Chain A
Amino acid sequence: MLEIKDLHASIEDKKILNGINLKVNAGEVHAIMGPNGSGKSTLASVIAGKEEFEIKKGSLALDGENLEDLDPEERAHKGIFLSFQYPVEIPGVSVTNFMKTAINASRKARGLEDMPANQMLKLIREKSEMLEIDRKFLSRSLNEGFSGGEKKRNEIFQMAMLEPKLAILDETDSGLDIDALRIVANGVNKLRGKDNAIIVITHYQRLLEYIVPDFVHVLHDGKIVKSGSKELALELEEKGYDWIKQEAIV
């Protein structure tokens, strides 16, 4: 589904990604781990199409189609979703209205009419119940005054609403207590299927106990330095990242 080949990316001439190779097939869950500053969030932003990052070399394709020239919204229309580490506050626009705008924008891009109001309401009810989100929460301004946990839960709610082909979860576990983590992970697991894929970016193994990955990759200095099965995450938890860094130097 997603194929990244020898991807180099920079911001203002500062190299951040130095040759990433990654292949994600439908039905798979990949975890990307690594120390601070290793390029995890950059990789997520580059896949989602953030303009500040310049691709210097390599390629990025979804279902065989090169993504490089597509705007972030066009990538979203093709089914890419990024759950943000720091979701942005939008005063005056409620969660519900924001979702309506987003869903109808995607439908418009696909040549469809606006989703009928009753269908929209049903979808909102269904997905908010799945994530144990209070109805009152949905009429609040998007992310404004939300706690860290509420923001993350709201990101996953958006993911559930948009039903992406490829979801990238950037540090979704940060700011979540154990109950919220369970609810969020549960929501993500319900969205797992044979036709879609998930990339989980995280510091800690904790989230991976709930969202069990098929593959774990370790990012260091903008490169994947080690890949393995879910056991690799446990090993990292135990030993830290230093031994990986050592290996990389050798």
Chain B
Amino acid sequence: MDLKDKLLSSFLAFENNVDLDHPVHEVRSEAIKNFEEKGFPSKKEEAWKYTSLNGIQKVDFSIFPKKENTLEYKDIKKYFLHEIDTYKIVFIDGVYSSYLSETTHDGVDVCLMSAALTKPQYKQVIDVYFNKVASKDESLTTLNTAFSKEGAYIYIPKNKVPKKPIQIVHLATGNEAALMLQPRNLVIVEENAEVQIIERHQSLTGNEVLTNSVTEIFAAKDANVDYYKVQNDENTASLIDNTYISQKDKSIVRVHTFSFGGKLTRNNLNFYQNGEYMDSVLKGVTILGEKQHVDHHTLVHHAEPNCESHQDYKGIFGEKSTGVFNGKIIVDRIAQKTNAFQQNNNILISDKATINTKPQLEIFADDVKCSHGCTIGQLDEDALFYLQSRGIPKKEATALLMYAFANNVLESVRIPELKTRINKIIANKLGVRVGFEL
């Protein structure tokens, strides 16, 4: 049975465990129909030209884990940003781990999607927000919607700021030979509220894992959202991350994606601007080796005047790794005075590494500032000479320059401990002899 058929038959089993009378189930039923019709995207589709899901579909994934697993915090501590106090929503093989988590209802809700989708007190919010910005058309998003049951639910009311950042951590134990996970997150940040979220998917063994995740983020007027995605997974773990963001007037949403590992990673990051004077920030650092593959597909849709977007993705590709950057910017006819910037710079450090980069600008307004730049290159010879002339050997100088190249993107990271951690991962990946504190 191929993966699509397995998923379709699993949906019937899934229905035995959810409330079929809940309005959300209607949404799920619609979604599975869409997936049934469309199936997995193929390379024939323009958006999937450089990323093949054929290999993944041949794996016999378990759709639901057979038993609950536990982990000791000391064994997995390193996957958390443990240097600071945070709220934590932790899942082991897709199942919530209350032991490892720290949720709250103190002024803000940092809890579980399963609660939000079933308990009456959340019904109003779910009615207004659930599946309202996620695509009802894109097949993998609808696949996730069909199976939506568990994930993180974060609700920050007007003028509130949580006491600390929130970590969403998905751990895969490898107790199944191959496991498919479909977390569904909903983040609502009301007027003038703020939140900082760090998300990580981590496989703990060499067993196959496929995660098809959907996150919806709603940023109301004057809201401020920082979302950090840390992707440094095992070479047998694949991730399809679908993130949809709806922004209102004067809000700022920044999404940083740090891609350092995994077998296949696809980031579909979609920003929809519905208001004026807002800023969407999309930043990424990608450092790959071996046969790793990362595909960044971004969309920023400017639908009203006087808004900005800033995209800056840096990539370093070694060995046989492959990268894709496809950045689409749409500026509607009424969205005058839009400032949309997009930058994608890549360095190939191996003859066998590949990068495909494509800016896609659809601009219908005439009074806008849009700039884009894609570069694929080697390191600056003058810079290399400068470092060598100070006695730093070429190999170390090269690593140091790549570190500087990637580091540039981290300026906008607003959690200092996270910035340090990412810096260390970058230094490590590049083999920089950091005989110094970062």
Q: Which residues of A come within 8 Å of B, CB atoms?
A: 45, 48-52, 71-73, 75-77, 80-82, 84, 86-88, 90-93, 96-98, 100-106, 109, 114, 158, 162
Contacts and interface: CB of A to CB of B under 8 A. Distances in A.
B386 interface: yes
A168 to B, nearest CB: 10
Contact of A91 (B404, B434, B437): B404
B431 interface: no
A162 B391 contact: yes
Contacts of A77: 391
Contacts of A90: 383, 387, 400-401, 404
B407 interface: yes
A76 B423 contact: no
Contacts of B437: 97
Nearest to A102: B390
A106 B391 contact: yes
A92 B388 contact: no
A153 B252 CA distance: 39
B60 interface: no
Contact of B390 (A49, A71, A76, A86): A76
B277 interface: no
A92 B380 contact: no
A97 B386 CA distance: 15
B383 A88 contact: yes
A116 to B, nearest CB: 12
A93 B403 contact: yes
Q: Is the interface of B mostly helix, strand, loop or mixed?
A: helix
Interface in B403-438: 403-404, 407-408, 410, 423, 433-437
B408 A101 contact: no
Interface of B: 380-383, 385-394, 396-397, 400-401, 403-404, 407-408, 410, 423, 433-437
Contacts of A75: 389
Given A90-B404, A91-B408, A72 B436 contact: no
Shortest 10 CB-CB contacts between residues of A and residues of B: A92-B407, A76-B391, A72-B388, A106-B391, A97-B436, A102-B390, A88-B386, A88-B383, A73-B388, A90-B404
- Summarize A's interface: helix, strand, loop or mixed: helix
Given A90-B404, A101-B436, A105-B396, A51 B385 contact: yes
A162 B407 contact: no
Contacts of B383: 88, 90
Contact of A72 (B385, B407, B433, B435): B385
B404 A92 contact: yes
B403 A88 contact: no
Contacts of B392: 73, 101-102, 105
Contacts of A76: 388-391
B391 A92 contact: no
Contact of B380 (A88, A101, A109): A88
Given A73-B394, A101-B433, A92 B410 contact: yes
B314 to A, nearest CB: 11
A105 B404 contact: no
Contacts of A50: 385
Contacts of A71: 388, 393-394
Contacts of B389: 48-49, 72-73, 75-76, 80-82, 84
B334 to A, nearest CB: 38
Q: Which of A50, A73, A102, A114 has the most CB of B within 10 A?
A: A73
A49 B393 CA distance: 13
A88 B382 contact: yes
6 contacts: A73-B389, A73-B390, A88-B387, A92-B423, A102-B390, A105-B396
A77 to B, nearest CB: 6
Contacts of A82: 389
